[in-house]
Amino acid sequence: MTANAFFGFLDTCKAAFRRIVRACRGERTEEDMPGEAWIAAEAIAKQRQQPVDFADPSDRELVLSWLYNRLVRFQEKTQRYAARLDVGWDDDAAEQTGPVALARVLAAPDLFDPALQLPAIEEREQRLAWTAASYSEASAYGVLLDRFDWDARELAGHLLIVVGTLRRRLLRASTVVKRQPSLFDGVECIARDFVPTVRARRC
């Protein structure tokens, strides 16, 4: 990521930045966009293990898409979730933490959206805390997903299965952990260095 290419990107995409800022409804300003774009580029580079080329139109679109999803879509989703919590927030207090909260994360479609991965450090620690509250298949998937920066596609590749298969397994684990939060009543938890058995691929 060269400085000249980055500044060229900022100049070319001013209109797109303004649209994102308007959609943020006061949560961001145009002055925030260069920093947010740089953070987005670093996150994308880390995820795909290849630097962003700001001179490449497809990479520019990828950064803009990432920004929109993180700053607009994710913000709207958070606000809707907060609004739901405000209404009868203590009715299902137990469902906001532990295995049930982890089940919601595993079942969320956004888990397979590349633009909405790489959760904040605090959020990752919270998710790992949820895995510690349960000795279950769901917790094992939580530990593995964190190891792959919550990139479900990367985990599927590591396990030598297609993404659709992983999605079905996550949904199944999510359903089971809601009914049976832990096999050992919270006494045991999945170790963070847990290593799954990977079936050898036949030629």
pLDDT, tens digit, for every residue of 11-70? 988 998 998 888 877 778 889 899 989 988 888 888 888 899 998 888 888 898 888 877
Domain that holds residue 147: 93-179
Task: Tell me if 151 is assigned to some domain.
Answer: yes
Residues 9 and 1: their CA atoms lie apart, in Å, by: 11
Q: Report the chain's C-alpha Rg in angstroms.
A: 19
User: How far is the CA of 191 from the CAs of 18, 23, 135, in angstroms?
Assistant: 45, 42, 9
DSSP 92: T
pLDDT band at 120; cut points 50, 70, 90: low
Task: Tell me if 110 is assigned to some domain.
Answer: yes
pLDDT at 47: 83
- How far does the chain reach from its first CA to its final CA, in angstroms? 40
pLDDT tens by residue, 131-152: 776 778 888 888 888 888 778 8
Q: How many domains does the chain divide into? A: 2
Task: Tell me if 193 is assigned to some domain.
Answer: no
Q: What's the pTM value of the predicted model, to 2 decimals? A: 0.43
Domain boundary among 41, 57, 86: 86
Tokens of 122: 């605090």
Domain boundary among 86, 107, 125: 86
Task: Tell me if 192 is assigned to some domain.
Answer: no
